[in-house]
Amino acid sequence: MIPRRGCDPEINVVSIGAKILEKIVKGSTSLDELMIDCAFELKVSVDHIILSLDWLFSIKAIDFNGEEVIINDAT
């Protein structure tokens, strides 16, 4: 459940994280491309993108192999 009271769902890490995962699924993406494209498309700051990427990494949803961001397999 995404909290609706007191925060804008468009800048919520869960909402942004979902959009980031959708973008990664569409094709392999470098970290730089992902940050710039998502910030432009979602009209949020790069700080919000970094926070969302950090959250996705913390919950082990994504990983970074030095070149591109990848989605981890569900176990």
**CB contact set of 25 (below 8 Å; sequence gap of 6+):** 71
Secondary structure class of 41 (helix, strand, coil): helix
Report the CATH architecture of 9-70.
Orthogonal Bundle (1.10)
- pLDDT value at residue 1: 53
pTM of structure: 0.81
- pLDDT value at residue 39: 87
Residue 6 has pLDDT above 90, yes or no: no
pLDDT tens for each residue of 17-72: 999 999 999 886 888 888 888 889 989 989 999 999 999 999 999 998 888 888 88
Nearest to 11 by CA among 42, 36, 40: 42
Helix (DSSP H) and strand (DSSP E) numbers for the chain: 3, 2
